[in-house]
Structure 1
């Protein structure tokens, strides 16, 4: 399926990303290089480049290609950064981030998904991604500070542990809202605090943990 997949990646970049306003050429090139079909269940490989999220097991999904690209573009990575990927899932977004940054740490709360993602990343040539198991809403303090943090799950607010792990001028992208509807928000660390900019509407699976939702979808107090 390699030739078909390569053509599908080009079609995805041109039809789903560029036409919807993704302009960062580094992001577009990264999305064209990462073999998305390797990060979905084998039975869904032919659907890997569809314009939507796909199930990966354990009640989780691989995000829509456009949403991965949009988050990466908002982070404005130049190549030398250390990035935290919250919500590893299949490992696909971590692979795209690894194409764009020097050092990627990814954290997943579901051990079976973390183990699978670690193996998939290694097989796809991204073994340097540091995959951790734990509560992603708490970040990965022993690898901080981060230049950028991408949160691939919905939170009722920005998990308070994450801004504390940003370096000067660092950026966080997070889907913020309810369990059912969110807005993708960019926050940039400045001398006076976080500067916020809202972007597109979105819908992600909930971020479960101390800084997210409980398993039933209610915010933790």
Structure 2
């Protein structure tokens, strides 16, 4: 496919997938309309990059559908200059979008194979541990669904900092936003949207007698 073909697909994604599904933030639409999503799925899959579905990346991982990424960015309301941690950055699409919006972004990934494919600079480590070396963050972006949000990640939020991502509830992925205020943290669910799953977030087994 040509650059013109991909540009047309990006335009259709913005008008047909995003604008019609509650993604109206001009900064989010501008970023998603300019960043070449096809770069982040591998050459052989460029033609499916703009479908409203998870695109497999290998290692059991996937690139989130555009609507999931757009809804999360819209609720996160990232601002230029903010420090952002992307957990489970994969090949780096969400990282590139946040950088396009002017954020200072740290990309965290634990899969060496995905890091090798990444189109952005990436640090390597267990996803559930976050990246404390760069904390505190104004925004933590979980680029996929997790079973729970570990305290280790919440602790890396600045006071007033936000976290967005998805929670996997028995196979249903629900988009969430949380904010750290006065030492407390809670999550609000705002949409049921299909997302890829991030590994390593199973909660510790409950102790029983």
| TM-score, scaled to structure 2 | 0.91
Deviation at 1:203?
Answer: 3.5
1:110 is matched with which residue? 111
Identify which of structures 1 and 2 has the higher relative contact order when contacts are C-alpha pairs closer than 8 Å and 6+ apart.
2
* Gapped regions of structure 2 (runs ≥ 5): none
2:10 is matched with which residue? 9
Q: Contact (CA 8 Å) 2:40, 2:92: kept in 1 or not?
A: yes
Q: Deviations over 1:12-41 (max 9, x none)?
A: 001000111111100000000100111112
Deviation at 1:202?
Answer: 2.8
**Alignment counterpart, residue 176 of structure 1, candidates 167, 171, 174:** 167
Tell me whether 1:132 sits opposite 2:123 in the alignment: yes
SS in 1 for 2:144: coil
1:99 is matched with which residue? 100
Q: Contact (CA 8 Å) 2:78, 2:103: kept in 1 or not?
A: no
CA distance in 1, matches of 2:169, 2:198: 11
Deviation at 1:107?
Answer: 0.8
1:19 is matched with which residue? 20
SS in 2 for 1:22: coil
CA distance in 2, matches of 1:207, 1:32: 26
1:191 is matched with which residue? 182
Deviation at 1:89?
Answer: 1.3
1:31 is matched with which residue? 32
| TM-score, scaled to structure 1 | 0.87
CA distance in 2, matches of 1:18, 1:35: 18
Runs of 4+ displaced beyond 6 Å: none
**Alignment counterpart, residue 193 of structure 2, candidates 180, 202, 211:** 202
Tell me whether 1:71 sits opposite 2:72 in the alignment: yes
Tell me whether 1:166 sits opposite 2:167 in the alignment: no
Q: Deviations over 1:41-91 (max 9, x none)?
A: 212111111111111111111110111111111111121101000011121
Q: Contact (CA 8 Å) 1:151, 1:175: kept in 2 or not?
A: yes
CA distance in 2, matches of 1:53, 1:205: 6
When residues 189 and 108 of structure 1 are mapped into structure 2, their CA distance, relative to the original with a 3 A threshold, is same
When residues 101 and 164 of structure 1 are mapped into structure 2, their CA distance, relative to the original with a 3 A threshold, is farther
* Paired residues, number: 204
Deviation at 1:95?
Answer: 0.7
Out of 21-30 and 169-178, give the one that drifted further. Answer: 169-178
* Gapped regions of structure 1 (runs ≥ 5): 122-129, 214-218
CA distance in 2, matches of 1:55, 1:197: 28
CA distance in 2, matches of 1:110, 1:96: 21
